[in-house]
Amino acid sequence: MNLILLFEADFSAPATGAAGGRVCLEGRRASYIASVHRAQPGDRLQVGLVGGRIGEGEVVSVAGDRVELDVQLDREPPAPLPLTLVLALPRPLVLKRVLIAATSLGCKRIYLIQSRRVERSFWNSKVLRGDALDEPLILGLEQAVDTVMPRVELRTRFKPFVEDELPGLIAGGQAFVAHPEADAPCPRDVKEPTTLVVGPEGGFVPYEIEKLEAAGCRGVGLGERILRVETALAVLLARMF
Amino acid sequence: MNLILLFEADFSAPATGAAGGRVCLEGRRASYIASVHRAQPGDRLQVGLVGGRIGEGEVVSVAGDRVELDVQLDREPPAPLPLTLVLALPRPLVLKRVLIAATSLGCKRIYLIQSRRVERSFWNSKVLRGDALDEPLILGLEQAVDTVMPRVELRTRFKPFVEDELPGLIAGGQAFVAHPEADAPCPRDVKEPTTLVVGPEGGFVPYEIEKLEAAGCRGVGLGERILRVETALAVLLARMF
């Protein structure tokens, strides 16, 4: 937790925390401050308001599972990537790691989609239910010292998404689909808005690649090695941006 | 498991398996072939001999927890990275993930070292004990379709390693230390032998950075975002190679 992520509801005064104020934390964040940071009154911690600015919180009190901070928010969060990430839904165990990694790398718009090699049961994952989906996103922001939550959209049907929605997402930018058989190397130093589509373990089936190419995606490869989704994602984004 | 990694001892005939032969598998690999691949006699699976060539294994029989394959090894594994990776020992939970990622990315020489922010207790991790250390390396090779095991060295004292051993490792190539405060961006498209030093969570302390710079390492940064070690490693290697 390189940043303590704050929410409007944490602020007691003033009621809106855009520039700072007094916050009172309980639960996970308070335990972390007390037991990992071992914070004492007067210590200063890096904090940020969700969707807003970053700054410092001075510890006012630490009592049991309750921590009070005086917060000053004085700088903008890091720039987001100019990216829309479209990801075949990974296995539940992998999904959480991938969302943390994608968020920490600066992805702000993530579509999780069905594909032939995605087991239907993956859509029942607890990670996708209600507020649970926020958890890996918050962990990613806390890791990377960022405040802007990614927007995650779920699309449980491949064809309507790729035919009807994807062309609109790509419009005005460029789009790539990463798959092992593609010959073209990953582009470097991309500046314009980009859509990146990443397949499931085992890759997209040929029909899906055709559909994605018809929607405007160019195939890019990563060389001989087959990487875990979260590793491949870090490699692709590091090369592209 | 994109490749079934074979060992000399798996071969029944001929006794040396450099070009192929008959192998008999039990345990983890056999269960995987039977229950995940759901392999039947005649199916062909990607295999490789540890330290040797890659090829195909044709399933001869699947019986309970025992699988026989007829193996032909006909091509070389992917090229290794021209890299020596020096890594402050991560927490046990993180260590395994980092070793899998580093191996899958093609690292062949890894030094795990002590540093001020590495808790001494991390050296007692089960992952470091005897053959246990091979497990994440094997998983990394199976993931990336590679056969060459990385050599992992443990160095429990920072100063003797950096003063006496590191300059010899760097000799004839270039060396970098990744840390958040460095201004220089990560170099791209490196061709020569390279040593990359990556710090612990929280980074190296200033004294350690001085020592590493004195040994010939140049600081490189990764931008504003603080990444998990395994994500940072993938980003660094993707940019460098």
User: At A130, is the pLDDT very low, low, confident or very high (cuts 50, 70, 90)?
Assistant: confident
A143 closest CA partner among A95, A186, A187, A97: A97
Same domain as B211, residue B157 = yes
Binary contact (A234, B238; C-beta < 8 A): yes
Domain termination site, one of B43, B75, B107: B75
Same domain as B229, residue B162 = yes
pLDDT in tens, A37-66: 899 999 999 999 999 999 999 999 999 789
From CA B123, how far away is CA B155, in angstroms rounded?
10
Q: CB contact, 8 Å: B142 with chain A?
A: no
Q: CB contact, 8 Å: B224 with chain A?
A: yes
Minimal Cα–Cα distance from B3 to chain A, Å?
A: 10
User: At A142, is the pLDDT very low, low, confident or very high (cuts 50, 70, 90)?
Assistant: very high
pLDDT in tens, B194-213: 999 999 988 999 999 999 99
Same domain as B58, residue B147 = no
Q: CB contact, 8 Å: A142 with chain B?
A: no
Residue range of the domain that includes B61: 4-75
For residue A139, what is the enclosing H or E element? helix A134-144
- State the CATH number of the domain containing residue B56: 2.40.240.20
Q: CB contact, 8 Å: B185 with chain A?
A: no
* pLDDT of A17: 61
pLDDT, averaged across chain A: 94
* pLDDT of B183: 81
pLDDT, averaged across chain B: 94
Q: What dihedral do alpha carbons A221, A227, A229, A231 form, nearest 10°?
A: -100
Chain A's closest residue to B202, CA to CA, is A2
From CA A229, how far away is CA A114, in angstroms rounded?
15
Same domain as B121, residue B70 = no
- State the CATH number of the domain containing residue B136: 3.40.1280.10
| DSSP 8-state code for residue B226 | -
- Pairing relationship of beta strands B20-26 and B11-13 according to DSSP bridges: antiparallel
Q: Roughly how many angstroms between the first and final C-alpha of chain A, as a whole number?
A: 25
User: At A179, is the pLDDT very low, low, confident or very high (cuts 50, 70, 90)?
Assistant: confident
Contact B95, B135 (CB under 8 A): no
Domain termination site, one of A48, A75, A102: A75
Q: CB contact, 8 Å: A127 with chain B?
A: no
Residues from chain A contacting residue B226 (CB–CB below 8 Å): 2, 104, 143-145
Same domain as A101, residue A39 = no
Same domain as B13, residue B95 = no
Residues from chain B contacting residue A147 (CB–CB below 8 Å): none
From CA B78, how far away is CA B90, in angstroms rounded?
27
Minimal Cα–Cα distance from A179 to chain B, Å?
A: 14
Same domain as B235, residue B215 = yes
Residue numbers in chain B where pLDDT is lower than 70: 13-17
Same domain as B56, residue B106 = no
* pLDDT of B70: 95
Same domain as B97, residue B44 = no
CB atoms within 10 A of CB B174: 15
From CA A50, how far away is CA A178, in angstroms rounded?
31
Beta-bridged to residue A25, according to DSSP, are: A67
For residue A207, what is the enclosing H or E element? helix A206-214
Domain tally, chain B: 2
Kindly report whether the global pTM for this prediction surpasses the value 0.90: yes
Binary contact (B231, A234; C-beta < 8 A): yes
Contact A39, A48 (CB under 8 A): no
* pLDDT of B48: 97
* pLDDT of B14: 64
Of A78, A231, A235, the CB nearest to B225: A78
| H-state helical runs in B80-185 | 92-104, 134-144, 158-160, 166-170
Q: How many CA atoms lie within 13 A of B165 on its CB side?
A: 14
Domain termination site, one of A42, A75, A108: A75
User: At A16, is the pLDDT very low, low, confident or very high (cuts 50, 70, 90)?
Assistant: low
Q: CB contact, 8 Å: B128 with chain A?
A: no
More confident residue, A17 or B104: B104
Residue for token digits 């020096």? B86
Per-residue pLDDT for A13 more than 80? no
User: At A207, is the pLDDT very low, low, confident or very high (cuts 50, 70, 90)?
Assistant: very high
Same domain as B192, residue B213 = yes
From CA B98, how far away is CA A122, in angstroms rounded?
26
From CA A139, how far away is CA A98, in angstroms rounded?
12
Same domain as A153, residue A56 = no
* pLDDT of A15: 57
Record the tokens describing residue B119, joined without a space.
């808790």
* pLDDT of A64: 79
ipTM score: 0.93
Same domain as B127, residue B35 = no
In three-state secondary structure terms, A111 is strand
Minimal Cα–Cα distance from B21 to chain A, Å?
A: 25
